[in-house]
Amino acid sequence: METILQGYGIRKETLMELQKGSFTYSLEGVNSIKSRDFFLGGHALFTVSNPQGSYYTYKIQRPEGRSPRYFVNLLTGPDNESSYTYLGILDPGSFDFRLTRASRLGIDTAPVKVLRWALTIFRNGNRPPAGYAVQHQGKCCRCGRTLTTPESIDRGIGPDCYERGLS
């Protein structure tokens, strides 16, 4: 283990902290979403977390065809493929989220507030404050396939989808 870690240039003091088990990890930089384009990929799956470790996972999908609306869902159950609750729609132009008649949660509920907070950050070209994280799940934001290359993971979009761009 020591050889492998040192091979990656990790300092000896850090290695000792790891071995002592006192190393504190940081979410910042791990699968962090870099731009608002991610949310408009059509298959955006991401988690927003705060310094206390609370988090919500959202899915923003564009239906087939040229729909101007993106549907936002919240993970609310044990099955991370199917346990989603409908929240509302995202306007891709203004980047505004709003509830619709079918929305299952109110505007003042924590999941909706957290979502709007996160979207506002990216709409304004900012990054989350220290301790907060907005992370993708290692899936391409456009096609939903698992990302494998370091570059793709960093971008949150696979190479083919990146070449095609958002359309």
Residues that bind Zn ion (CB under 5 A): 140, 142-143, 158, 161
Contact 91, 69 (CB under 8 A): yes
In terms of CB distance, is 100 or 148 closer to Zn ion? Answer: 148
Contact 66, 74 (CB under 8 A): no
- Least CB distance to Zn ion at residue 31 (A): 15
Distance CA 57, CA 49 (A): 9
- Least CB distance to Zn ion at residue 35 (A): 16
- Least CB distance to Zn ion at residue 142 (A): 4
User: How is residue 102 written in tokens?
Assistant: 């079918």
DSSP state of 114: H
Distance CA 42, CA 134 (A): 17
- Least CB distance to Zn ion at residue 161 (A): 3
In terms of CB distance, is 143 or 166 closer to Zn ion? Answer: 143
Q: Which residue has the tokens 């370091």?
A: 150
In terms of CB distance, is 59 or 142 closer to Zn ion? Answer: 142
In terms of CB distance, is 10 or 153 closer to Zn ion? Answer: 153
